């Protein structure tokens, strides 16, 4: 056979194999367990379930059932960092998925995909760092979702702040609406925290301007999503993109984020879902994070 044809066949076969693997990995849901140790904490343990980027459509029974199963973790607090929706009729499916978690304390912010329905774009655009951010999808039932979460007693942190007491721990939480579409307005929450025992910052897309504002105001723990962990990563190397100005080495997981001599613990969730038009993950499993905040590091 012509060597060029042979090479083309090999490349095509590799591409199809990677795509097939990526479709499977996108369904390989996992729980990442991490401990956030900080001697400043005045409590022994607070378990936060951090979910992000659910991107739910009503037909995604497997994903909905997996999210439902997370209720058995019985976290002290659930925080969802946006992109709940991926379909005009997804609100009931989101509420069904979160079902048992909605019985407990929760907080949320929205991402761009809670405002605009996903539209098909070339998957290669995801790797174009200079592409224009232009949400053009159909408007989603954002307010219906917000109301259902509020009715369950969850706290809306979109450019808002609120304190809540859980297990005698006063959590002073603040958040922004999605920086990816410039809906963040940190000035609405800026300034010193109250006298709570935990200072928590929540946003969807971890743009540096928001992380820096959180850190400047002595936030101790920051939760974010949006990056999908890079979504299509290079094994043993990591993410190629973060879809924002966050460095790729911070694309997912727990890290120390420092700015002007101050440091916060930053957890970036790789997310549970993907756009329905790019349902592929490579070397980047879909995840929920169970963070245990503790004063004492376990041995």
The span of 2-10, 28-36, 75-83, 276-284 binding Fe ion (CB under 5 A) equals 75-83
Q: How far is the CB of 54 from Fe ion (least distance, A)?
A: 9
Q: CB–CB of 79/51 below 8 Å? A: yes
To Fe ion, the closest distance from the beta carbon of 243 in angstroms equals 8
Cβ at position 257, least distance to Fe ion in Å? 20
β-pair partners for 202:
175, 223
Give the residue with the Cβ less far from Fe ion, 55 or 174: 55
Q: Which is nearer to Fe ion, 113 or 294 (CB)?
A: 113
Compare residues 83 and 217 and give the one whose CB is closer to Fe ion: 83
To Fe ion, the closest distance from the beta carbon of 297 in angstroms equals 32
Question: How many residues bind to Fe ion according to rule CB under 5 A?
Answer: 2
Looking at 79-87, 100-108, 187-195, 205-213, which segment touches Fe ion (CB under 5 A)? 79-87
Closest separation in Å from C-beta 66 to Fe ion: 17
Could you say whether residue 53 binds Fe ion (CB under 5 A)? yes
Q: Rounded to a whole number, what is the largest CA-CA distance in the chain?
A: 74
CB of 174 to Fe ion, least distance (A): 22
Of 83 and 213, which has the nearer Cβ to Fe ion? Answer: 83
Contact region for Fe ion (CB under 5 A) — 31-39, 48-56, 57-65, 67-75?
48-56
State yes or no: residue 213 binds Fe ion (CB under 5 A).
no
Quick count: other Cβ atoms within 10 Å of Cβ 283?
A: 18
Q: Segment near Fe ion (CB under 5 A), from 53-61, 125-133, 147-155, 254-262?
A: 53-61
Q: Judged by CB under 5 A, does residue 83 bind Fe ion?
A: yes
Binding site for Fe ion (CB under 5 A): 53, 83
């Amino acid at each position: 056979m012509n060597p060029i044809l042979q090479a083309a066949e090999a490349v095509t076969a590799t591409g199809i194999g990677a795509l097939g693997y990526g479709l499977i990995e996108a369904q390989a849901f996992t729980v990442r367990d991490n401990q956030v140790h900080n001697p400043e904490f005045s409590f022994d343990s607070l378990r936060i379930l951090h979910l992000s980027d659910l991107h739910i459509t009503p037909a995604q029974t497997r994903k909905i059932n997996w999210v439902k199963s997370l209720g058995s973790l019985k976290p002290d607090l659930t925080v969802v960092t946006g992109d709940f929706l991926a379909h005009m009729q997804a609100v009931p499916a989101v509420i069904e998925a979160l079902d048992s978690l909605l019985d407990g304390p929760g907080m949320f912010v929205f991402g761009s995909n809670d405002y605009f329905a996903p539209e098909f774009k070339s998957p290669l655009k995801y790797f174009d760092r200079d592409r224009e951010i232009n949400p053009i999808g159909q408007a989603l039932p954002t307010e219906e979702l917000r109301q259902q979460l509020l009715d369950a007693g969850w706290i809306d942190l979109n450019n808002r702040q609120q304190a809540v007491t859980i297990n005698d721990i006063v959590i002073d939480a603040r958040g922004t609406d999605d920086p990816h579409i410039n809906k963040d307005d940190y000035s609405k929450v800026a300034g010193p925290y109250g006298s709570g025992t935990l200072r928590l910052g929540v946003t969807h897309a971890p743009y540096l301007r928001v992380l820096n504002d959180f850190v400047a105001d002595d936030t101790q723990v920051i939760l974010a999503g949006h990056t999908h962990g890079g979504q299509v990563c290079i094994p043993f190397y990591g993410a190629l993109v973060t879809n924002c100005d966050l460095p790729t080495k911070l694309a997912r997981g727990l890290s120390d984020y420092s700015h002007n001599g101050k440091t916060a613990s930053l957890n970036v969730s790789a997310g549970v879902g993907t756009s329905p038009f790019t349902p592929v993950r490579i070397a980047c499993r879909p995840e929920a994070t169970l963070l245990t905040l503790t004063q004492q590091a376990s041995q």
